[in-house]
Amino acid sequence: MLLKLAYSSSEALYTVIVVTSLRVERMNEWQAKKSAKEVDNWPVVETTQMLGEVSGVATSRDNSVHVFHRVERVWDATTFDMNNVYNGRNGQPIQNDTILVL
Question: pLDDT (tens digit, 9 = 90+) per residue, 8-27?
Answer: 444 444 444 444 433 444 44
Q: What was the pLDDT predicted at 83?
A: 92
Read off the amino acid at residue 88. G
How many Å apart are CA 71 and CA 32, to the nearest integer?
A: 30
Judged against a pLDDT cut of 50, whether residue 61 lies above it is answered with: yes
Query: Please, are residues 65 and 102 in contact by the beta-carbon 8 Å criterion?
Result: yes
**pLDDT tens digits for range 37-56:** 777 887 787 877 788 888 89
Angle at 63 between CA 58 and CA 68, to 5 degrees: 25
Judged against a pLDDT cut of 50, whether residue 4 lies above it is answered with: no
Q: What was the pLDDT predicted at 87?
A: 84
Would you say the C-alpha torsion 81, 84, 85, 87 has a positive or negative sign?
positive
Residue 47: phi and psi, rounded to 5, are -70, -45
**pLDDT tens digits for range 65-98:** 899 988 888 888 888 889 988 887 777 778 888 8
